């Protein structure tokens, strides 16, 4: 566990000591505000539904951008060879970097709590959908971060890692949008594999255990894939 925490602290420190970290966070907040507040001022409701509605799309871009370098850079510089030969092992490397990525995810989501202060004058805020929205956002972000780590574990090229993770995340986000074109028999089956569908369920304040099982399973599948990617470099 000590090795995992050392790797996590090293990765998080590397990110937050870089000016790029604050550019990414500022850009994330700015883009969210640009799309959320015009809708808020039109309807004048004390809710974050508009913010959460677009979050899967924004996560599809920002989380691969954050995680694309975590392993690709190690491969390119050759430092992954040193990490693998240490007692850490591939599993601890991935878990450590994943914990760091979750910390970065919290760094992206944390400042958006300020939106609550800005919308409070419009009326009483219903805590259920807000709490559900942030809970769903964390699980969705955790899954997309795992996708990013998996993509990063497969190549030493950060751009390739980004495009790969972006493509997977976009498919998971919009899978349910294409279900109207499918036979009813397939809709229920494919609906379960849509990250956008499960996130929407939780963000409405509906704590469906199937949604949590889905996000945890999705994260584990891609984290195991990332471990296999690192082990292949031995």
Give residue-wise pLDDT tens across range 51-93.
888 999 999 999 999 998 888 887 877 777 667 666 667 888 9
With tokens 């497969």, the residue in question is 154
The answer to whether the beta carbons of residues 151 and 164 sit under 8 Å apart is yes
**Residue 195 lies in domain:** 2-231
Q: pLDDT tens across 93-130, in order?
A: 999 999 999 999 999 999 998 888 887 777 777 788 88
| Count of domains for the chain | 1
Choice among 142-146, 173-177, 221-225 with the minimum mean pLDDT: 173-177
With tokens 């790969």, the residue in question is 164
Helix 49-77 / helix 195-203 crossing angle, nearest 10 deg: 130
3-class SS of residue 85: helix
Helix 49-77 / helix 19-43 crossing angle, nearest 10 deg: 160
d(CA 89, CA 230): 9
- Cα–Cα distances in angstroms (integers) from residue 143 to residues 42, 198, 212, in the given order: 33, 12, 11
3-class SS of residue 155: coil
> Tokens in use for 226?
């990332």
Residue spans of alpha helices (H) in 86-208: 89-109, 114-119, 127-152, 158-174, 184-191, 195-203
User: What is the average pLDDT value for the chain, to the nearest integer?
Assistant: 86
With tokens 């990063």, the residue in question is 152
């Amino acid at each position: 566990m000590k090795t995992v925490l050392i790797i996590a602290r090293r990765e998080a420190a590397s990110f937050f000591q870089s000016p790029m970290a604050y550019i990414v966070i500022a850009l994330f907040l700015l883009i969210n505000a640009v799309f959320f507040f015009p809708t808020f001022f039109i309807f004048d409701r004390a809710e974050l539904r508009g913010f959460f509605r677009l979050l899967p799309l924004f996560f599809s871009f920002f989380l691969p951008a954050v995680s694309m370098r975590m392993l690709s850079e190690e491969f390119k510089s050759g430092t992954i060879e040193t990490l693998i030969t240490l007692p850490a092992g591939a599993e601890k490397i991935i878990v450590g970097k994943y914990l760091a990525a979750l910390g970065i995810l919290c760094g992206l989501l944390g400042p958006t709590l300020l939106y609550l202060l800005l919308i409070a004058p419009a009326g009483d805020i219903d805590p259920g959908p807000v709490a559900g929205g942030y809970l769903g956002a964390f699980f969705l972000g955790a899954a997309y971060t795992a996708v990013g780590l998996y993509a990063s574990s497969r190549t030493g090229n950060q751009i390739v890692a980004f495009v790969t993770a972006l493509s997977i995340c976009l498919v998971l986000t919009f899978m349910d949008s294409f279900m109207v074109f499918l036979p009813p028999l397939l809709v229920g089956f494919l609906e379960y594999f849509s990250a956008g569908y499960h996130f929407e369920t939780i963000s409405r304040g509906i704590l469906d255990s199937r949604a949590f099982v889905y996000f945890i399973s999705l994260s584990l599948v891609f984290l195991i894939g990332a471990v296999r990617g690192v082990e292949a470099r031995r």
